[in-house]
A and B are shown apart, each in its own frame.
Chain A
């Protein structure tokens, strides 16, 4: 199973259909900094045939741009709309990845999404065997999609 390809396909599709924005994937990263500054992370848990989580990490600036495009409004501060939008992005991305994994015969169910943000915070998730860290470029900057998955034995 090519998890990196699932992440790229899901991200390009969701940004094109939901935000009418073209995003360009970069090269997958071997690891990332644990520390995020002035950023937001949206995350959603995945359980069932695979156990793990999907997260999107972005700067406040990119988060506000995504929210503005998504909701069709002007966004000037990181408010509840922004947190909801970034959590919902994680939810939609995970939904799309889930579909491609389900075709592989694995049933996956998603949890309720969360949004984490702040001036400086660390974000860690180690539990999984397979990890994808895929950076993407959009007109307003870059963001990172992280997928952590562990296949469950029957």
Chain B
């Protein structure tokens, strides 16, 4: 818990910037991260029944993911991109527990399905918010990657944002890479 204290001020600052409603220009990192923060908060409040707090955007993340579960979902149409969520195993299991009522002791099929469905629901929330800005996106299907040591690289030189969230079980990271129209 100690390291969290240090970033708290930073976080409050960014929360002000990030969750501002009525985005005039959606094509900014602040616009997209605001929508993703809202969509994620909504999914956690209505489906996962777990407290979640939006942290400050991160400039980078480690390439290698250790003992984690990731879900990757392609986005096309008005915006070409890919949305991914990276969860440490413990966070993934607790999110599954929040959704299903009982926390699995290991990363089983239910945990993987939950993380895949979570990225799908967050992308659904983004889709609704973009539609209000006359930007219609279409979603592919989620793929789920898990393991003790792996890499997930969202390719192309498109814009990237890394938005972490804090839960009781630890932090997880939302990664969004996007370019213009398909």
Contact = CB atoms under 8 A, between A and B. Distances in A.
Interface string B139-167: 11111111111111111101000000000
A112 B80 contact: yes
Contacts of A46: 74, 76, 140
A23 interface: no
Given A45-B82, A122-B112, A111 B147 contact: no
Most buried by B among A88, A114, A116, A117: A114
Interface residues on A, range: 35 or more
Interface of A: 43-48, 51-53, 55, 80, 83-84, 87-88, 109-128, 148, 150
A110 B155 contact: no
A51 B147 contact: no
Contacts of A43: 72, 74, 143
Interface in B80-139: 80-82, 84, 112-113, 116, 138-139
Contacts of B158: 112
Given A111-B75, A112-B179, A51 B141 contact: yes
B141 A127 contact: yes
25 contacts: A43-B74, A43-B143, A46-B76, A47-B74, A47-B139, A47-B140, A48-B76, A51-B138, A53-B140, A110-B80, A111-B73, A111-B140, A112-B154, A112-B156, A112-B179, A113-B156, A114-B153, A114-B155, A116-B152, A117-B151, A117-B153, A118-B151, A119-B150, A126-B116, A127-B142
A123 B143 CA distance: 7
Closest 9 CB pairs of A and B: A45-B74, A111-B74, A45-B140, A118-B150, A121-B147, A109-B76, A47-B138, A127-B141, A121-B150
B82 to A, nearest CB: 5
B75 A45 contact: yes
Contacts, number: 141
Contacts of A119: 147-150
Interface of B: 64, 70, 72-77, 80-82, 84, 112-113, 116, 138-156, 158, 177-179, 182
Nearest to B179: A112
Interface of A is mostly: strand
A48 B77 contact: yes
A84 B155 contact: yes
A111 B80 contact: yes
A126 B110 CA distance: 12
A66 B120 CA distance: 32
